[in-house]
Amino acid sequence: MYMRSQLYIPGDNDRKLAKADASGADAVVLDLEDSVAEKNRPEARRKVREFLDQRPPEKRTYQIWVRINAFDDAALVDLAAIAGGMPDGVVLPKIDGPDDVQRLSYHLDSLEVREAIPLGSIKICAVATETPAAVLRLGEFAHARIPRLVGLNWGAEDLSAAVGATTNLDATGKWSLTYLWARSAVMLAAKAAGVQAIETAYVNYRDLDGLKTACRAAAQEGFTGRAAIHPDQVAAINEAFAPSPEDVAQANRIVAAFDKAEGVGTVGIDGEMFDIPHLKRARRVLDLHQKYQNKRA
């Protein structure tokens, strides 16, 4: 269930919901949280459930996720309304640590039983940096063992509000130290937990060149997907987080050379030496390539 792109769509916006099927995103995230005014949440829940019911799992060509509200807000009401529509997953915002993710998993257990859905079907992606406590507890994900958890996302806007900062950028327009730290910690926590590390949204949706550059850099660092806030961002994100043809060709050469040598720790290809870390990286490239041949893999 890998996702290069997660396209967020307000759950109460008919015009944007109508464009979801043609977006090309690996996952569409129907939002019941920040992009929906509180007074519109009941109608948003109804529309999200209708959207899900019209696209049963066996007919979907992309994943459908729902971002619910935080547990101290309206999370349980959201879950009760949408679980029967069998979303592929739930995005949980504003956590304080793995305990909140485990709590969501327990609620999903009950709802899946209620709706006669196979246990464990609905996965979880947690936005893991929106409170100071969450950032300080990221290392706990290495030992949390939550089978439903498939991804950790990060975001800077809620964290800056939570700490009372006036900005999350430095004088050059880059992330300031606190947010660079949170971003790196999320990536490492995701790797330690064996789940996807998902990069935050690129807010200037008109700057596609900047988005492409940022996505390539994130992919090189170890992120495997990115949130999108506009359909125009999806293609660039999908391209950046999928192995290039050149990457796949080189990975095949490395794997083939090791297979041929059998039992050695290094191989030479065209005068360049490759060792076991290169082999591991090559196998990962080929694994990702295979996954993205089928977006619902």
Q: What is the 3-state secondary structure (H, E, C) of 47-77?
A: HHHHHHHCCCHHHCCCEEEEECCCCCCCHHH
Residue 278 sits in the same domain as residue 184: no
> What CATH number is given to the structural domain containing 154?
3.20.20.60
Residue 195 sits in the same domain as residue 227: yes
- Other CB atoms closer than 10 Å to residue 201's CB: what's the count? 22
* pLDDT for the residue numbered 263: 81
User: Phi first, then psi: what are they for 261, rounded to 5°?
Assistant: -75, -40
**Domain count of the chain?**
2
* pLDDT for the residue numbered 294: 57
Q: Which residues of the chain have pLDDT under 70?
A: 294-297
The CA distance from 290 to 297, in Å, is 9
Residue 150 sits in the same domain as residue 33: yes
Residue 193 sits in the same domain as residue 262: no
Of 240, 257, 274, which marks where a domain is finished? 240
Q: Record the pTM.
A: 0.90
In three state form, how does the secondary structure of 177-188 look?
HHHHHHHHHHHH
Query: What is the extent of the structural domain holding 116?
Result: 5-240
Of 197, 224, 240, which marks where a domain is finished? 240
* pLDDT for the residue numbered 76: 97
Of 212, 240, 268, which marks where a domain is finished? 240
Residue 157 sits in the same domain as residue 289: no
> And the tokens for 230?
């506009």
Residue 110 sits in the same domain as residue 257: no
* pLDDT for the residue numbered 72: 86
Residue 190 sits in the same domain as residue 249: no
Residue linked to tokens 């919901």? 17
Q: How far is CA 272 from CA 44, 103, 268, 283, in A?
A: 57, 50, 5, 18
Residue 130 sits in the same domain as residue 260: no
Residue 103 sits in the same domain as residue 142: yes
Q: Taking the mean position of all CA atoms in its chain, how far away is CA 31?
A: 14
Residue 171 sits in the same domain as residue 251: no
